[in-house]
Amino acid sequence: MISLDVSASKEFGKSCFILGNGPSLDLITTAQFNQMDMTIGMNRSYYKTLSTYYCIVRNVQFLRDILDLQWIHCMSTIFYLGLRGYMFAGMPKEAILATGGKIDTRNFVFVEPTENVSWFLDEGHKVSNTGEFAIYVALWLGFKYIYLLGYDCNGVEGHFKNGITKGQWSQDRIQDRTAEAKHYNEVLGLQITSANTYEAEIYNCNPKSAISCWPYISVEEALER
């Protein structure tokens, strides 16, 4: 297990790309992924590229994600938001048996839900999704330039082609993504800005993204910086 304090400001002044799960991730080429020195992944972004860091907010998918990561021998540092003693709570029995009841956590940074407010935020704030958590991780690590990939939330069905969702999303799921974009634009953007103690610059690399609280920059321009 890696200490959260040890990780603070580790990447001060550097650039990173955060990989979301929107369909626009399919527009990024392998050559472009290979040019990204530092990346922060989440959910099944490892189907696109292995990341320097990886973020998990405990949910019904997290155990599968960890198993897949460890199966492909991913040595990324994994930031895990959840209680360490309850990693298996509520997980399907067959999934637990597949791990032998044990997960290798040597490359984990555990962030207790009751402690994450002490990073940057006012008491009582709860991280609402993995995309938000990944941005806080980037700020905590001290990155100066943060580029968001696959942060779409624009009502397009599904994830990128190797993502969790196959086929089309239901109308309810599309509405969820629309509400998530509104939450970013009206609430999370301001909270993240106030948490930005290092004055990092955050950019959205999808011109069609419904998340408009950060300025747009093309992937090509970001890579040339």
What the chain holds in terms of domains, given with CATH numbers, is 4-224 (3.90.1480)
Distance (Å, whole) CA 183 – CA 36: 28
DSSP codes, 42-88: ETTGGGT---SEEEEE-STTHHHHHHHHHHTT---EEEEES-GGGTT
DSSP codes, 152-212: --SS--S-STTSS--SPPPHHHHHHHHHHHHHIIIIIHHHHHHH-TT--EEEE--TT-S--
pTM summary value: 0.82
The predicted-structure confidence for 29-44, as pLDDT tens digits, reads as follows 999 999 999 999 987 7
- The mean predicted confidence, pLDDT, of the chain is 75
The predicted-structure confidence for 158-181, as pLDDT tens digits, reads as follows 566 665 554 455 555 556 667 778
Q: Which of 45-54, 60-69, 208-217 has the lowest mean pLDDT?
A: 60-69
Residues 70-82 have a mean pLDDT of: 67
Q: What pLDDT score was predicted for residue 101?
A: 52
Q: What pLDDT score was predicted for residue 118?
A: 47
